[in-house]
Structure 1
Amino acid sequence: MILVATMWKIKQSLMNHFPSDPRKGQIGSIELNLWLAQMSGVSVMRLRQNSSDIKIFIFLYTALITILVTFVYTACEFYDLALNWYDLNILTQNSCISLTHLAGLAKIINALYKLKDIQKVLEKLKYGLRTYAISKEQRQTFLDGELENKLLLTVYVAIVATTGLLGMFVLFLNPVKMAGKTFPYRAVVPSWVPFPLQLLYMSLSVLVFAMQIVAIDYLNINLLNQLRYQLNILNLAFDKLSFEEEQEKSRASDSPIFGKHSRRLNAIIEHHCLLKEVCQDIESIFSVSILLQFFTSLIIFAMTGFQATVQSDASNEAILIYFYCGCICCELFLYCCFGNAVTEQSKTLPIRSFNSSWYDYDGRYRKSLLVFLTNAQQPFVFTAGSFMDLSLPSFLGILSKSYSYIALLRQLYGR
């Protein structure tokens, strides 16, 4: 009962503070996502409406976080990596978190560089909602998806934040053993910085950087989900068309149906073309950064798996490694799961359109439907740098290859 009550409160809070309204093109999950990005120090001011005073404060805040956390702390980690490259145990400990931060830094830079393109994608999605989500069922489908999106982001943040806070607890519990010497706090902070400040800087940097990565990752996943919802809205448009045709039949109208249904089909085709543009835009914005994420995830899985085998099962370090590996697995799974979901959703379009009693319509309608069927035959596919699809088989393939690398590292370590 307590869990149900808590989830209800979270649901109501998300709906009240970040409302969604398809009639206005308002996407609350995107607003929540961008708010998280700003709170963690990623400057996405172009994508949010703020007053001039708030913009100045956000600019100074994000600049400070970006310099101290995103760049300086990453440099401290790589300096430690350069000092200890010869020790396999230390190398794998450092590489786990350093590669994560390197991939995160690349994704943040990519998102900031292509912020204008992301803004155009959001404008297209909002236009699609305002223009084509016209029925009650279509709007409810979008609102249900928005609730799913917000709750999923909340759970993702909770998982990563729990891991970061657990790391902070272990760090302050064993500061001498952990600070700069053990995963995930292997970094060389200047010695002139007081030790308590070093502890605070390390713990906050790892936690804040994790939130930045979550915000950027989920922005991509959120856009995939928005595309999936609008594909479902397209399917519902064909259902509505079939329902209206059945109503026409019940009125004993035996003549071919002209006019209104052809305009509805033209609107569906326009919507589909808009979504194809959105798909291509998302692919061009995030494809390369996702490839880097997949490559580093393969190495990180191998490194963390190796660390889990060499650490004592009861040690704090081993517990942190298990939590961290779970976060990386969750990150990669979300990409592959929702990329796969968009592809599968797009494959349903030709089936739903062909089942729409097209044989009862006039020749103009049938020609337009043929154009749609031709375009819809090609599913929406997202890739990691055109190297592999975002799909569940790709996720399983990365896990399989990681296991092979773990075995290799174990052999090297045992010599």
Structure 2
Amino acid sequence: MGPKFLESLEDPSHLLLGPTLLGLQYWGLWQKDRIKNVIYNIIHILAFIFVISQYLELWLIRQNLELAMRNLSVSMLSTVCVFKAGTFVFWQKSWKELIEYVSNLEKNQLSKNDKTTAKIIDTYTKYSRIVTYCYWCLVTATVFTVILAPLFVFLSSPVYRESISNGTQPYPEIMSSWFPFDRSRGLGYWLSVVCHTLICFYGGGVVASFDSNAVVIMTFFAGQLKLLSMNCSRLFGDGNEVVNYKDAVKRIEECHYHHLYLVKYSTVLNSLLSPVMFLYVIICSLMICASAVQLTTDGTGNMQRIWIAEYLMALIAQLFLYCWHGNEVSYMSYKVDGGLYSSAWWSQNVRIRRSLLLLGGQLRRTITFTAGPFTMLNVATFVTVSVIIMMISTQATATILLLGSKQTDRISNAIQLPICISDSV
């Protein structure tokens, strides 16, 4: 049943992006039908209103550090989800142009029946499927962990159950948000549970489909750069092949335009991702810090620590996924011209060699992905953010231990999370 289900996700029109486009379509980001678009856009607006209610609740509970940190760790992720959904819908035309380029280029390349080309495309397509499905599983596990965490806390703590029964403690919540009714008991509580459950599935679907689609397209660029390098290395065969001037120029032109369009559409992808990733790097860093502080607080129970640890792992995996694949594209972009100089260029005349020099100059134009105007998406950025997170988490934990629970209003001034991260990034 598993392989058949996975096969049903494939799309002959989009050989690489079939599963990710299906996910985008189910969650209302890849819009085709006008009537469904209206329904999906209403859902996106309701999600935006829910995020506002989370920050309103954060303001109301600002004096309670433990509740505020728990709210902050989730509300910022909700902000990123809504921002991703909004930008994808608003920039739908650019996304469609980019996706059509990816699909059409692969179909044209495979139509030539070249074994080397087919092998490279098949390799990065299989890799993309593994990354997509593993990431979907991780997001699904995170969503169910967030939804079921209050139930596990309720079942694992007899003292907490006794406090609920005598009315001294409210029922456990999935998320922290404001409602215009009493959500601590009765019908109001169950309405909040249903609302929080739905918003968790919405956010998980948006994150899974958006991130997997972006990462798969990054993988496409890395694979195409590898294919371009291979094509450059076999421009003139092994040197014994007789290639006339017209055929040689045609091959050089194909490599030139291949790289030219890769640079063009990678710039389009970067323009779509850069604002999202700038917000994502900042907010993800803040979320990881908030989760790490919760993890090291004495008042946090064992079941809560398990939930926070799984949530923290998912946040780090998301950031790593973008930085790793952005680094892969940059690395392949730097070494793509090596294929040209490993070709049998020495077997050609002076006119062809001059054209090769021009092509080499074109291939030196590198492809990079950025998170806003301040940093690039690569492994170095991930390591830098990780070091900052460790330093801030250590400082936050030490501050909590020194000041104690009665002086929590001074912690925000001692930690200075936003200032540290914005200055460092």
The one of 64, 81, 85 equivalent to 2:58 is 81
Distance 2:267 2:135 in 1: 26
Distance 1:195 1:325 in 2: 27
Q: Report deviation, 1:217.
A: 2.0
Say if 2:202 is the partner of 1:202.
no
Say if 2:196 is the partner of 1:217.
no
Query: In the alignment, what sits opposite 1:123?
Result: 100
- After TM superposition, the structure 1 = structure 2 runs for residues 169-180 of structure 1, keeping only pairs within 5 Å, are 169-173=148-152
TM-score, length basis structure 1: 0.85
Equivalent residue of 1:187, what SS? coil
Query: In the alignment, what sits opposite 1:392?
Result: 379
Query: In the alignment, what sits opposite 1:98?
Result: 75
Alignment check: 8 A CA contact 1:171 1:203 kept? no
Q: In the superposition, relative to structure 1, how do residues 197 and 181 fare at CA in structure 2: closer, same or farther (>3 Å)?
A: closer
- After TM superposition, the structure 1 = structure 2 runs for residues 395-410 of structure 1, keeping only pairs within 5 Å, are 395-410=382-397
Distance 1:181 1:370 in 2: 71
Q: Report deviation, 1:29.
A: 4.0
Query: In the alignment, what sits opposite 1:59?
Result: 37
Alignment check: 8 A CA contact 1:298 1:402 kept? yes
Say if 2:315 is the partner of 1:337.
no
Equivalent residue of 1:45, what SS? coil
Q: In the superposition, relative to structure 1, how do residues 89 and 17 fare at CA in structure 2: closer, same or farther (>3 Å)?
A: closer
Q: Report deviation, 1:281.
A: 1.0
Distance 1:294 1:241 in 2: 41
Equivalent residue of 2:390, what SS? helix
Equivalent residue of 1:310, what SS? coil
Distance 1:200 1:311 in 2: 31
Q: In the superposition, relative to structure 1, how do residues 215 and 180 fare at CA in structure 2: closer, same or farther (>3 Å)?
A: farther
Query: In the alignment, what sits opposite 1:45?
Result: 31
Q: Report deviation, 1:117.
A: 1.0
Distance 2:2 2:359 in 1: 41
- After TM superposition, the structure 1 = structure 2 runs for residues 134-173 of structure 1, keeping only pairs within 5 Å, are 134=112, 135-173=114-152
Gaps of 5+ in 1: 1-8, 21-25, 47-54
Query: In the alignment, what sits opposite 1:299?
Result: 286
TM-score, length basis structure 2: 0.83
Q: Report deviation, 1:128.
A: 2.7
Which stretch shows the higher mean deviation, 325-334 or 401-410? Answer: 401-410
Distance 1:11 1:326 in 2: 28
Alignment check: 8 A CA contact 1:38 1:58 kept? no
Distance 2:352 2:269 in 1: 31
Alignment check: 8 A CA contact 1:283 1:382 kept? yes
Say if 2:33 is the partner of 1:33.
no
Alignment check: 8 A CA contact 1:337 1:391 kept? yes
Fraction of identical pairs, as percent: 16
Distance 2:198 2:52 in 1: 16
Query: In the alignment, what sits opposite 2:357?
Result: 370
Per-residue Cα deviation, 1:301-356 (whole angstroms, up to 9, x for no partner): 11111010015676221111111111111100010000000011112211111110
Alignment check: 8 A CA contact 1:343 1:381 kept? yes
Q: Report deviation, 1:14.
A: 3.0
Counterpart of 1:73 in structure 2: which amino acid? F
Distance 1:284 1:139 in 2: 30
Q: In the superposition, relative to structure 1, how do residues 38 and 332 fare at CA in structure 2: closer, same or farther (>3 Å)?
A: same
Q: Report deviation, 1:285.
A: 1.5
Alignment check: 8 A CA contact 1:132 1:271 kept? no
Q: In the superposition, relative to structure 1, how do residues 284 and 142 fare at CA in structure 2: closer, same or farther (>3 Å)?
A: same
Q: In the superposition, relative to structure 1, how do residues 318 and 240 fare at CA in structure 2: closer, same or farther (>3 Å)?
A: same
Which stretch shows the higher mean deviation, 74-83 or 300-309? Answer: 74-83
Counterpart of 1:107 in structure 2: which amino acid? K
Alignment check: 8 A CA contact 1:88 1:413 kept? no
Q: Report deviation, 1:269.
A: 0.5
Counterpart of 1:45 in structure 2: which amino acid? Q
Alignment check: 8 A CA contact 1:128 1:274 kept? no
Q: Report deviation, 1:158.
A: 0.6
Q: Number of aligned pairs? A: 385
Query: In the alignment, what sits opposite 2:180?
Result: 190
- After TM superposition, the structure 1 = structure 2 runs for residues 216-235 of structure 1, keeping only pairs within 5 Å, are 216-235=210-229
Counterpart of 2:217 in structure 1: which amino acid? L
Distance 2:244 2:3 in 1: 44
Alignment check: 8 A CA contact 2:151 2:172 kept? no
Alignment check: 8 A CA contact 1:257 1:362 kept? no
Say if 2:246 is the partner of 1:267.
no
Query: In the alignment, what sits opposite 1:23?
Result: none
Alignment check: 8 A CA contact 2:294 2:300 kept? no
